[in-house]
Amino acid sequence: MSLPLRIEPGGLLRTLYDERLDLRPLGQIQIQRGSHVEPTPTGDWLADLSPVQGPCLGPFPVRSLALTAERDWLERHWLHSD
């Protein structure tokens, strides 16, 4: 599984957090939450992407589906947006 990276013109690097790559040697880092994956009162799961001005995805019957949808949306719309 590859780790998607985006380097912007001013040198800002965007990626989805992953422990496979230690970003600290690259300089000052700032980690921010991109979403909230939470259960509903009925036991389904939602991926709320409001921290990055995105939609609320779901409901999903299991958490792993919500996490996959979250990552897919972040890669397509936040990481690779212009």
The pLDDT of residue 1 = 56
Mean pLDDT, consecutive 10-residue stretches, the chain (82 aa), reads 78 82 85 92 97 96 97 90 60
Q: Check: CB of residue 37 under 8 Å from CB of residue 49.
A: no
User: By CB neighbour count within 10 A (0-12 exposed, 13-18 middle, 19+ buried), where does 45 fall?
Assistant: buried
State the pTM of this model. 0.80
